[in-house]
Amino acid sequence: QSALTQPPSASGSPGQSVTISCTGTSSDVGGYNYVSWYQQHPGKAPKLMIYEVSKRPSGVPDRFSGSKSGNTASLTVSGLQAEDEADYYCSSYAGINKGVFGGGTKLTVL
C-alpha cells in the first residue's frame, strides 16, 4: 500500500489553468473509479473537491474538474484565483477495504 504519486508543486497565474496529476497502479487508481481530490488551506481541515473521478460536490465551483486515464488521475483548475492557492491531495480506493492518499501538491498562484 504505497502512497499515490503527486508532483510536490504546481503553479499558474490568475486566470490560467493548471493540472495536477496523481499516479497509482492498476490496484488502486487504475482499478476503480473511486478517486477523490481534496483542497487544504494552512491550518484547516481538508475539503472535498472531486469524488468518483469527476463528480463535484454541491458548492464546488465548476472551475474544478477531474479525469482519469489508466493509472493516472488528474485535477484541473481553470481560471485560477488567488484563493485556489492551497495543498491538494488525491485519494483512491486501493482494494480489500483500504484507501490511500497521494503525497500532496502545493499549488501556488503567481
Partner 1 sequence: EVQLVESGGGLVQPGRSLRLSCAASGFTFDDYAMHWVRQAPGKGLEWVSGISWASGSIGYADSVKGRFTISRDNAKNSLYLQMNSLRAEDTALYYCAKDMNYDSSGYLAVDHWGQGTLVTVSS
Which is nearest to 28 in space by CA: 20, 36, 40, 16? 36
Residues 27-46 that bind partner 1 (CB under 8 A): 34, 36, 38, 40, 45-46
**Under 8 Å between Cβ of 49 and 56:** yes
For CA atoms 58, 104, 35, 101, give the dihedral sign: negative
Interface with partner 1 includes 23 (CB under 8 A)?
no
Q: Which of 3, 7, 67, 72 binds partner 1 (CB under 8 A)?
A: 3
> Given the rule CB under 8 A, which of 10-18, 51-59, 66-74, 78-86 is the region that contacts partner 1?
51-59
Interface with partner 1 includes 48 (CB under 8 A)?
yes
Distance, in Å, from the CA atom of 44 to the CA atom of 92, rounded to the nearest integer, reads 22
Residues 55-74 that bind partner 1 (CB under 8 A): 57
Interface with partner 1 includes 96 (CB under 8 A)?
yes
Q: Residue 48, Cα to own-chain centre: how many angstroms? A: 9
Whose Cβ is closer to partner 1: residue 57's or residue 70's? 57
